[in-house]
Amino acid sequence: MLFVVILEMRIVLEEGLFLSDKETILITGGAGFIGSHVADFFLENNFNVIVADNLCSGFFKNINKNAIFYDVDITTNDVENIFKENKIDYVLHLAAQANVGLSIREPMLDAKENILGSINILSLCKKYDVKKIMTASTAAVYGVPKYLPVDETHETICLSFYGLSKLTMEQYFKMFGVDYIIFRFANVYGERQNSKGEAGVVAIFADKMKNNEDVFINGDGEQTRDFVYVKDIAKACYSAVKSDVKNEIINVSTNKRISINNLFFEMAKIFNYKKKPFYNKERAGDIKHSVLDNKKCALLLNCIPETSLRDGLLKLGGLEGDL
């Protein structure tokens, strides 16, 4: 069943948000961590925004009051009602099954959400003449890096069904006949990121430190990652919509890496956390070092994430400008 919520519709109409002279973007997964920030950014920049989310991993509280919300699963026929009822100019497809462990345990579910759900959205974009669709793939498609930083020409060797389903999704985007941009994001962090389940290490550390709980690090902590602030991701998505760039795969990253040990110590200072970390065994299948090359993003979209890790962590801790 399709459930539509027009948030604060009276206010929306009085402010003229959904006037015909504004372009409209549909954001699938728009109640999630990344999607909700992207929705906010597009609303701030004079777009009509429609959010489609089944609230399986997203949260109603994340949805901007000036967006139209459809409670709908992307794998169902109900999604077409969004296109029938609204003139959609662009689609940002972020709805996905993103839990690596779950993809191993339930590959059928993973494939249904990430492959069949994407095909459903692509079919509707083609049927209703959407100008361009952007989607989030994953750096997991690169597998163990053969060189650093990893650029978009790096070979793809998936180590999980999640990576495989995302890579398969990419192939459908390339062949479907709809203008597209495929993003491969580095490790995204920031406000609203859930610290439960298959969460990012920054969210997990922040939650533990705020509650003065023990922090555990897998392996020796010398593994390195490239962390990009979520609002910089939103800017990259906006740049993709506003540009004439199409039919490209683009990394979004800072092109800088930090060890998990150094991340811990940086966050401990910001959150005034006094405990030392505990070390677990290294997780099977974990990649030792990962950093994505962002030259293509700079060249094509004139966009490079500008928020330093320290500044992003300060914002996450609500301490911006205090240190």
What is residue 275's three-state secondary structure?
A: coil
Catalytic residue (choose from 162, 189, 229, 273): 162
Contacts of 239 (CB under 8 A, 6+ apart): 301, 302, 303
Residue among 93, 78, 84 at smallest CA distance from 136: 93
Cβ burial 187-210 (10 Å sphere, 16+ → b, else e): bbbbbbbbbeeebbbbbbbbbbbe
Q: Prior bond to 149 cis, omega within 30?
A: yes
> What amino acid is encoded at 281 in this protein?
K
Strands (E), 2-140: 3-6, 24-28, 48-53, 68-71, 90-93, 132-136
- The position carrying tokens 């911006």 is 320
Which residue is it, tokens 């009051």? 65
Answer for the pair 178, 133: CB distance below 8 angstroms, yes or no: yes
In terms of DSSP H, where are the helices of 189-294? 201-210, 230-242, 260-270
What is the spatial distance between Cα 100 and Cα 165, in angstroms, rounded to a whole number? 11
Which three-class secondary structure state does DSSP give residue 256?
coil
Whether 162 sits among the annotated catalytic residues: the reply is: yes
Q: How far apart are CA 21 and CA 34, in angstroms?
A: 27
Q: Which residues are identified as catalytic?
A: 162
